[in-house]
Amino acid sequence: MTSTLPDLHAVQTLPELLALRARLTPAAEAYRQCDSATGQWAGLTWAQTNERVQQWSRAMAASGLPAGARVAILLPNGLDAMSIDQAVLATGCVPVPLHAIDNPGSIAYILADAEVSLLVVADTAQWERIRAVGTPLPHLLGVVVAGPVAEATPGDVPVAPLSAWLAHATPDTPLPPPPGPGDLAAIVYTSGTTGKPKGVMLTHANVIADVKAVLARIVPTPDDVFLSFLPLSHTFERTGGYYLPMAAGSCVAYARSVAQLAEDLRTVRPTVLVSVPRIYERVHAKLIEKLSPSPFKMRLFQAAQSVGWQRFRAAQRLPAAPQDGAGGWLRALPWPLLRALVARPLLAQFGGRVRVAVSGGAPLSPTIAQCFLGLGLPLVQGYGMTETTPVVSVNTLEDNDPATVGRALPGVEVRIGENRELQVRGPIVMKGYWKRPEDTARILSGDGWLGTGDQAEIVDGRIRILGRIKEIIVTSTGEKVPPGDLELAITGDALFGQAFVVGEQRPFIACVAVVQPEEWRQLARQLGLNPGDDASLAHPSVQRAALARIERQAASFPRYAVPRAVHLVREPWTIENTFMTPTLKLKRNNLSAHYAQAIEAMYQKR
């Protein structure tokens, strides 16, 4: 089918987008969700979706909130999250999407900072944890509980079950005037890797402009099925996995949870994936863990990946990759056989019919790109940030250089400024930071150019990201090291699940790394050590082996950038333990504080 882009020409706001979609394809499947009670997947058509949103919009109108009131949404991805988001937009209010597993202190800060009037939560316990923080919330007028309702501790803020909140509106409850293009479509709080999160103000015009530009580049169709698993508090998911399929008329199936993602991929069999690198890294790690015990299977996998990678590069007219001999004589097997034995089983883990997989939110490791592209997953990398709604650029299936983040979208200007900073201008650039004019002025110039904070180069129209300006490590000898690139390289070795490099104003670079369980067990046994004893991680033989692996992975970096000390740990860094942001980036300040003693010890030993 062809894109519906011409029909979108007159659309200027998100309520107009839903109305157009319901009018164009009323009987087509819009959303699909698994009923936790029955285990059955059920869907809504676009006409049914529109009716549901109308009901929720009347409840919003009956709540009596002023125009532009902020409504915080703390729900997992699903029909309720979609419905309240659409209802808030339809009544001229502003969604403030929150991450469902963010910590209560962070959520309380955002509720206070955004002066939220209404909070929608999944269960009463969530609200009780937020209240217990003790942050004053003078603007909060009510809490709506979408899931289980337990008796709440009496307080100043009324708490209502969703059913009661919906029932307090009548079919003839009038709706307020709809929003205009310049009105806010969301205040999305940045992840806060190094400080308090800031509220990014995105207008309807911002979102619609980005949706139209992405649709011209990716071209989903009404036949496509998206699987939604990134949190809707993530602008990448909001634009790419929510509003984009609405514009295209595609179906969105809501994954049950990240833990059940592998099963949901096989059940839903999506044709479009919108994901961050961490998801692909997890699949890759599981794959390597499964293959490691069998040298033959590992060589077969390496042969298929290597041959497939050369085929991909030839098809994209990219320079041939250096031959590394991986896979040995198995590389001589015909590609149809390698594809049947290796590629097809891997692609089946994604459902077997992915037409395009988009990776964004963080850099994609060359190791991961080579694996999945070599084995036939149609993976394209893009670039953006919350402040640009978020997509700035993306590769396409026909023009795909995974070492870059593609070309700027139609209507988006990019240039290289001072200190090689990538700058962006266009209708996708945010209105500014909520209540922070000074911060806005620091990043957004008077003539509309936004400083991304990323160093980049533009070659033949393609953007190559070089690293974060603020995250560049400057050693005590004056050498500059981009930590993100180095960490990606290190985690290319199967032993290391996550890596965090340090060295600011230190004499050399050091590394804290999380070991992958199966690879660690194998290494420990090879060295005659107990893998369950944390003391084994610091054994000299383990340290030597780990540093040797790191050195191999960092071979393309200058000698001064190669870590000379390592501290190994077993506990993964997650959102829940506050070491990763909701967008799965390292919280460097938290990691530095937590491992301060271990980091100091690495430098004292040398």
Pick the CATH number of 399-466 from 2.60.40.420, 3.90.700.10, 2.30.38.10, 1.20.120.430: 2.30.38.10
pLDDT for 2 beyond 50? no
CA pair distance 69, 91, nearest whole angstrom: 10
Largest Cα–Cα separation, the chain: 75
Task: Over range 9-28, report the average pLDDT.
Answer: 97
Helix (H), strand (E) counts: the chain:
21, 26
> Do the beta carbons of residue 530 and residue 536 sit within 8 Å?
yes
What are the CA-CA distances from residue 452 to residues 41, 303, 310, 386 (Å)? 41, 39, 34, 10
With H, G, I as helix, E, B as strand and everything else as coil, classify residue 279: helix
Helix (H, G, I), strand (E, B) or coil at 36: coil
Torsion angle, alpha carbons of 509, 510, 514, 515, to 10: 100
Residue 101 confidence (pLDDT) above 90: no
Q: Is the pLDDT of residue 582 over 80?
A: no
Tell me the residue ranges of DSSP E strands in 369-419. 379-384, 391-394, 407-408, 413-416
- In angstroms, the CA 278 to CA 360 distance is 10
Partnered with residue 580 across adjacent β-strands are 586
Q: Find tokens 């393309």 and name the residue.
A: 556
CB 389, CB 412: distance < 8 Å: no
pLDDT at 1 exceeding the cut of 50: no
- Better-scored residue on pLDDT, 401 or 2: 401
Average pLDDT over residues 131-151: 92
Identical fold between 5-273 and 473-605:
no
Query: At 519, is the pLDDT very low, low, confident or very high (cuts 50, 70, 90)?
Result: very high
Instruction: Using alpha carbons only, give the angle 425, 110, 180 rounded to the nearest 5 degrees.
Output: 50
Among the four given CATH numbers 3.30.300.30, 1.10.1060.10, 3.40.228.10, 3.30.70.520, the one describing domain 473-605: 3.30.300.30
**Which element (helix H / strand E) includes 359?**
strand 356-359
pLDDT at 409: 98
CATH class of the region 5-273: alpha beta
470 token code pair:
């603020």
Given a cut of 80, whether residue 326 has pLDDT beyond it is no
Mean pLDDT for the chain? Answer: 92
pLDDT tens digits, residue range 142-171? 999 998 887 766 778 999 999 999 999 999
| Percent of the chain at pLDDT exceeding 90 | 78
End-to-end CA distance of the chain: 63
The SS3 assignment for 131 reads helix
The predicted-structure confidence for 501-516, as pLDDT tens digits, reads as follows: 999 888 899 999 999 9
- Over the stretch 172-187, which tens digit does the pLDDT of each residue have? 999 999 999 999 999 9
Distance of CA 186 to the CA centre of its chain: 17
User: Is the pLDDT score of 575 beyond 90?
Assistant: no
Beta bridge mates, 275: 359
Spans of all domains in the chain: 5-273, 399-466, 473-605
- Nearest 5°: the CA angle 233, 391, 75 is 10
| pLDDT greater than 90 at residue 246 | yes
* For range 564-582, the mean pLDDT: 91
Please choose, from the candidates 452, 430, 453, 432, the residue with its C-alpha nearest in 3D space to the C-alpha of residue 441: 432
Please tell me the predicted confidence (pLDDT) of residue 281. Answer: 83
Task: Give start and end residues of each alpha helix (H) in 425-559.
Answer: 437-443, 483-490, 517-526, 540-553
Instruction: Write down the pLDDT at residue 534.
Output: 92
Pick 327 or 436 by higher pLDDT: 436
pLDDT digits (tens, 9 = 90+) for 460-483: 999 999 888 878 888 877 787 889
Flag whether pLDDT at 3 surpasses 60: no
Q: What is the pLDDT of residue 518?
A: 92
Mean pLDDT of 216-245: 95
Please check whether residue 5 is in contact with residue 215, taking contact to mean a CB–CB distance below 8 angstroms: yes
pLDDT at 523: 95
Q: Which residues contact 265 (CB under 8 A, 6 or more apart)?
A: 227, 349, 350, 351
State the pLDDT at residue 471: 80
> In this model, does residue 5 exceed pLDDT 80?
no
Phi, psi angle pair for 358, to nearest 5° = -105, 130
Decide if pLDDT at 193 tops 50: no
Confidence of residue 192 (pLDDT cuts 50, 70, 90): low
Residue 152, pLDDT score = 60
Hey, how many other C-beta atoms are within 10 angstroms of the C-beta on 591?
A: 19
Any residues with CB less than 8 A from the CB of 283 and at least 6 apart, and which?
349
